[in-house]
Every structure is written in C-alpha cells, then in structure tokens.
C-alpha cells in the first residue's frame, strides 16, 4: 500500500516508541514526513533507520519541545518549510508518563505532565492549523490513552492529561468540520515502549500490583509492539479513515473488553 503518496505528514514523538514506528509506517506507504522530538539523538536514530529502509530521502527531522511555545512555533514553521510549504496530516504522538502516589506528587511533576501532554498537543495543533486547513486531505490524529476510560492506578496526572486530549479532539472535530478537517484520537493501552517497559513510568516501590490486574490484554502474549498502534494511526490518517472524525479508537488487545 502507498496510501500516503504525495501526502505531507508531521509526526511528534518521532524519536522513539510509537512515534518512531508511525514515522516508519507512513514512510513505508510513500509519505513525505517530518519527525519531531525533543531528543535529537533519538531523531538521528530514526533517520538512520529510515535510510537503511530506503526511505531517507522522504524524511527530515526537527527538534521541538512541545511544552515550550517558542519551540513549537519555530519547529512547526521549519517542518512546513521542509515539507514544501504544505501539510496534510498532523500526528501528535509525543508525550510523557510519570507515576506516583497522588498524595506524594509534587506540583512540578503534575504541571510537567499536563504541560507536555495536553498543552503540548494544543500548541502543535494551534500552530499547524493555518497550514493544515489549506489541504484537501487534512487530518489530525491525537494520542489519548486507555487511562481516559478505565482506572490506571498511580497515574492520575497522566490520565487527566489524556482525558483532556480526548475532549479536545471532540471539540476540534466539531469546530472545524465545515472546513473539512477530520480530528480523531487513538487510545493505546498495554503497548511496549520506552514509556512503559520495566519501571519506566516510575511506579512507586510500594505499589499494589493487584490493582493492575485489569490491565492485562485479553489476546496475545503480553504487551504489543508500537507497530500495532502505527498501523491504526496510518489507517486513520489515510483515505481509509475518511468517514471517521470526532471519536477515538482503543488499541489495547481487549484489556477492557
């Protein structure tokens, strides 16, 4: 399939995990991609992999701290320039996950999670919209989480940020519907990535792991690979998702079936 031939796509979080997998998926389907991330080394590795796959000529990278307004403004402008002045799809995969007992979470950590995940997604959308709205294939894919539907213990801040993204997705889909913009969200859960592997999210040492029993996938063996999500994102951002907007798709192996 080459569903993204002549499509210009900006993907945040492209330096690792699901964001990187999405970069490779859309490049593999013929897209012209700008991968954005705060981690320059991660972006360099993504570019190296793309070159090895024979897709390096359609990928450029830009360092963006999505939680910083100035960085987003400069980065989106650079991305649009790299894409020849246009943009057809924005995929907001960047985010962070931190865990803690809520009564022990410093305000600084709460604010960092909200700023990166929720405000960062807003900033990327705001800066991309003027160019995106000029496209006749315009779509935004946001990243929510299964934590917006079901309890994920020790992750109140993360859940709040992702719940905000989901609500924002619905509002934007309505607001820009007459301009032909589709806005959709994916809600991954039980996906293996730098964010979730090991004790990556910082689960407290005295955590009650019986509380996580509801987060075990119903199918497969353990957590799924980032490619599992990338395939769904590619569908939503392509013409195959042309009648999908203002909603979200859970990708969790039936964890919450």
> Which pLDDT tens digits describe the chain residue by residue (257 residues)?
799 999 999 999 999 999 999 999 999 999 999 999 999 999 999 999 999 999 999 999 999 999 999 999 999 999 999 999 999 999 999 999 999 999 999 999 999 999 999 999 999 999 999 999 999 999 999 999 999 988 889 999 999 999 999 999 999 999 999 999 999 999 998 887 665 555 456 688 888 878 877 677 777 667 789 999 999 999 999 999 999 999 999 998 888 77
Domains and CATH numbers, the chain: 8-251 (3.40.50.720)
Crossing angle of helices 17-28 and 40-52, in 10° steps, is: 30
Residue with tokens 């960085």: 71
d(CA 87, CA 127): 12
Structure tokens at 186: 């994916």
Using alpha carbons, select from 44, 40, 37 the residue that is nearest to residue 19: 37
d(CA 154, CA 101): 5
Annotate 154-199 with DSSP letters as a single string. Answer: T-HHHHHHHHHHHHHHHHHHHHTGGGT-EEEEEEE-SB-STTTSTT
C-alpha separations of 16 from 60, 73, 136, 153, 183 in Å: 15, 22, 30, 25, 23
- Residue 158 designated active-site: yes
Sheet of 89-92, strand order: 59-63, 32-37, 8-12, 89-92, 139-143, 182-188, 248-251
d(CA 165, CA 159): 10
Is the distance from CB of 168 to CB of 176 less than 8 angstroms?
Answer: no
C-alpha separations of 27 from 14, 24, 145 in Å: 12, 5, 25
pTM over 0.85, yes/no: yes
| Active-site choice (158, 162, 176, 251) | 158
d(CA 101, CA 204): 7
d(CA 117, CA 159): 10
Using CA atoms in the order 162, 236, 40, 32, what is the torsion angle rounded to 10 degrees?
-160
Give the strand pairing for 59-63 and 182-188: unpaired
């Amino acid at each position: 399939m080459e569903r993204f031939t002549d499509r210009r796509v900006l993907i945040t979080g492209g330096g690792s995990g699901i964001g990187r997998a999405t970069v490779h998926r859309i490049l593999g389907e013929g897209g012209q991609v700008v991968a954005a991330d705060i981690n320059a080394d991660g972006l360099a590795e993504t570019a190296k992999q793309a070159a090895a796959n024979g897709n390096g000529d359609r990928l450029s990278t830009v360092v963006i701290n999505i939680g910083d307004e100035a960085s987003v403004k400069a980065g989106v402008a650079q991305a649009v320039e790299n894409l020849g002045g246009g943009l057809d799809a924005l995929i907001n995969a960047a985010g962070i996950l931190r865990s803690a007992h809520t009564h022990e979470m410093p305000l600084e950590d709460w604010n960092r999670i909200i700023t990166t995940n929720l405000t960062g997604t807003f900033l990327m959308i705001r800066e991309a919209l003027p160019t995106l709205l000029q496209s006749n294939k315009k779509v935004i894919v946001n990243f929510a989480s299964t934590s917006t539907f079901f309890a994920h213990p020790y992750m109140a801040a993360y859940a709040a940020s992702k719940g905000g993204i989901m609500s924002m997705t619905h509002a934007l889909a309505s607001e820009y519907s007459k301009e032909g913009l589709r806005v959709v969200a994916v809600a991954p859960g039980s996906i293996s990535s730098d964010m979730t592997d090991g004790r990556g999210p910082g689960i407290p040492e005295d955590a009650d792991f019986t509380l996580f029993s509801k987060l075990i996938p119903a199918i497969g063996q353990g957590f799924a690979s980032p490619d599992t999500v990338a395939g769904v994102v590619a569908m939503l951002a392509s013409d195959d998702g042309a009648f999908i907007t203002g909603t979200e798709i859970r990708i969790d192996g039936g964890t919450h079936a």
